[in-house]
Structure 1
Amino acid sequence: MKKVFLFILSFAAVLLLAVFLSPLLYQILPYKFERIFNRIVMVGTLVCVVIFVRIKKETFVQYGLTWQNDSLRFLLTAFFAPVIVLSLYVALQVLVGEAVLSIRDVSAWKWIQRIFLAIAAGLLIGVIEEFFFRGAVMNACRRIWTSTQGLWLSLLVTNLFYSIVHFVHAKKPFVDQTPDFIDGFRLLAAPFSSFAHFSSFWPGFVGLFIFGLMLSGLTLKTKSLYPAIGLHAGAVFFIKTDGLWVDFSTTNMIWGSGKMYDGFAGWGALAILYLILLLILKEPRTMNQGPR
């Protein structure tokens, strides 16, 4: 529990740094204030993760980050599985008229740039979020609640927290052209104002909760964090690149939107994806184990 507290304290320091540093960087960088704020939080969190792991090397084993024989297979399989399944799901949307095939007329360099940036973003987000949620938070909960019922409670708490965090900016506060540190604090307070509008985004909230359960389930099954990192990275990659070739014409409760996880059909696609991964991923062999 001490490790989790230390990490949360470090994360709080990163948030404060973002509050005070964002207005200064806004004066010299050609980006929106909110984007600068978010990037500071992301990079600062990554630095905390690196420092935390270096200081606490045993967390590699405890959180399932030890590199083993099957780690690369886990990572790549879990990365490409959502890309394939979600591509088929979008193809179905096109067939039923819920989406329109629209390949962007941009240069090859733009395509390559978009794809590589999406891969980098997916891996960065996957490493940071899975280390924190499926690593630190879920392990801390399991140490607190050790019974069988405690496992389910750990899954509930971890993934409710995971889903809540992703909607901190569901309703962004207005920031003018002269932001200051007060606007940074307003962004920090966004989670509380966002949930006053829960009825407008609850389908996405439920979808992310389901996705979080999938990530947790794969981590528990394989005793490795790499499947969760791969799955998370692959899903982020797909969502960031599908705009290159498809337009989503409607938004409804059946198909949701282009987010993939905010409609009944999207939840079904996630369930199918999870079953596929459960079938093809097994607990890894350690480096000194022979064939089974």
Structure 2
Amino acid sequence: MRAFSYFVLLMLGALLISALINYPLYVLFQESMSKGPHKLINTVAKLIAIPGFILIIRHYAIANKPGLGYGLPRSAFIKDLASGWLSGFLILLLLSAVLLLLGVRVAKPPAEELLFLLFKTTLVALIGGLLIGFIEETFFRGGLFGAIRKQHGFATTLLLSSLFYAGLHFIKPLPLAGDEAQTWYSGLLILAGAFDQYGEWATFDSFLALFGLGAFFAVVRERTGNIAYCIGLHAGFVFVIKVVRTFTDVDVTSAFSPVVGNYDGMIGYLSAAGMLIHTLIIYRYWRVQKQVLA
């Protein structure tokens, strides 16, 4: 559990430091910020965590390409990444189609000229998905998974890395009202309310879905021995989510609306169930080394 504890302490420490310097940073950059100081907390914490992340992966001797999951030759890495992207695209396309058929999501009028909006959304979703895939998979299935796997078996590594992955998605700093936002300790007040979603039952379905997604990625990481396929999967998922959310809205009046949570209007009990089935299938049959009889 030591590696897992290091990562938990790293993120909590980074969030605390970010909160302490939140007010002076906001004063410094407020002319270029319109959404308030709470938007700085998570972003600054991620930057602060980078040196600690490097120290942890060095401590566990995984501060190298194979250790972080980049050990494949370039051509094989790109091939796995592309295959992962296509798989992620198809998986989320199927989920989106089901949500549309159930009436959970419905088409909405485009805010701009349709062809231009489609081109812009596709380009942003493609680039954004790849960036998110590389950054998050390097951290979660590279450093976090690799460090825990050094100490534990696969089942424990899957459980801990998936809990951490899902949990971080629900740290949500909220804006302060009135004079509270203009004090030196305002960042601490923002941070104090950032964990409120952990006590809300309404987030359980989204947490379950993200945990399932983390478990799916963990199985892929274990089966492939690298993170190329995980990066592609992650990027493909993000691509479809960004496109679908641009052109559709959640219909809260639908009888099937409970199958999605309030995290992004896409994931929830339905995606969690589908991901569980898919994860069990690939764990049982995908890239399993066959025994050769002498």
Asked if TM exceeds 0.5, the reply is yes
CA distance in 2, matches of 1:88, 1:181: 48
SS in 1 for 2:272: helix
| Shift in CA distance, 273/23, structure 1 to aligned 2, threshold 3 Å | same
RMSD: 3.7
> What's the TM-score once normalised by structure 1's chain length?
0.76
**In structure 2, which of residues 76, 92, 98 is the aligned counterpart of residue 70 of structure 1?**
76
Is 1:135 the counterpart of 2:135? The answer is: no
- 1 CA distance for matches of 2:281 and 2:186? 45
Go from structure 1 to structure 2 and tell me whether the alpha carbon gap of 1:119 and 1:281 turns closer, same or farther (over 3 Å shift): farther
Whole-angstrom CA distance in 2 between matches of 1:97 and 1:52: 46
189 and 10 in structure 1: CA distance in 2 versus 1, 3 angstrom threshold: closer
- Check whether the contact 2:15–2:41 (CA below 8 A) recurs between aligned residues: no
Partner of 2:41: 37
In structure 1, the residue matched to 2:216 is: 214
Native 8 Å contact 1:46 1:128 kept in 2? no
C-alpha distance after superposition, 1:81-100 (max 9, x if no partner): 22223223222222232221
The answer as to whether partners of 2:70 and 2:228 remain within 8 angstroms in 1 is yes
- Residues 60-91 of structure 1 show CA distances to partners (whole Å, capped at 9, x for unaligned) of 11121124242112212222322223223222
Structure 2 matches for 1:77-96, cutoff 5 A?
Answer: 77-96=83-102
Ranges in structure 2 where 5+ consecutive residues have no aligned partner? 289-294
Q: What TM-score do the two structures reach when normalised by structure 2?
A: 0.75
Show the counterpart of 2:166.
Answer: 163
Deviation at 1:159, TM superposition (A): 1.0
Alpha carbons 2:175, 2:190 under 8 Å: kept: no
Q: Which of 92, 98, 114 is the matching residue for 2:121?
A: 114
CA distance in 1 between partners of 2:169 and 2:261 (Å): 17
* 1:2-54 CA distance string (max 9 Å, x none): 8x959965984576246425422452213312333333344555687689989
Count how many residue pairs are aligned between Structure 1 and Structure 2: 275
User: In 2, are the aligned partners of 1:53 and 1:60 still within 8 Å (CA)?
Assistant: no
How many angstroms apart in 2 are the aligned matches of 1:109 and 1:14?
A: 39
Distance 1:204 1:14, change over 3 A: closer
Could you say if the C-alpha distance between residues 126 and 75 of structure 1 is closer, same or farther in structure 2, counting changes exceeding 3 Å? same
Pick one of 195, 213, 227 that aligns with 1:225. Answer: 227
Q: Counterpart in 1 of 2:17?
A: 16
Q: Distance in 2 between matches of 1:20 and 1:266?
A: 38
Question: For the structure 1 residues 231 and 249, does the alpha-carbon distance in structure 2 shift closer, same or farther, using more than 3 Å as the test?
Answer: same
Q: Which amino acid aligns with 1:93?
A: L
1:64 and 1:225 in contact (8 A); partners too: yes
SS of 1:168's partner is: coil
Change in 2 beyond 3 A, CA 1:156/1:50: closer
Paired AA for residue 127 in structure 2: A
Unaligned runs of 5+ residues in structure 1 are 284-292
Matching of residue 242 in structure 1 with residue 247 in structure 2: no
Superposed CA deviations along residues 239-288 of structure 1, whole A, max 9, x for unmatched, are 2221222222136333446543212x2224434655787799759xxxxx
Residue type at the aligned position of 1:127? F
Give the distance between the partners of 2:209 and 2:71, measured in 1 at CA. Answer: 30
Distance in structure 2 (CA, Å) of the matches to 1:7 and 1:129: 16
Residue by residue, what CA displacement relative to the aligned partner does 1:127-183 show, whole Å, maximum 9, x if unpaired?
A: 2322222222222222222xxxx32122111111211111112xx444237444523
Task: Tell me: CA distance 1:217–1:30, structure 2 relative to 1, closer, same or farther (3 Å).
Answer: same
Distance in 2 (alpha carbons) for counterparts of 1:181 and 1:110: 42
Aligned counterparts of 1:256 and 1:92: Cα–Cα separation in 2 = 15
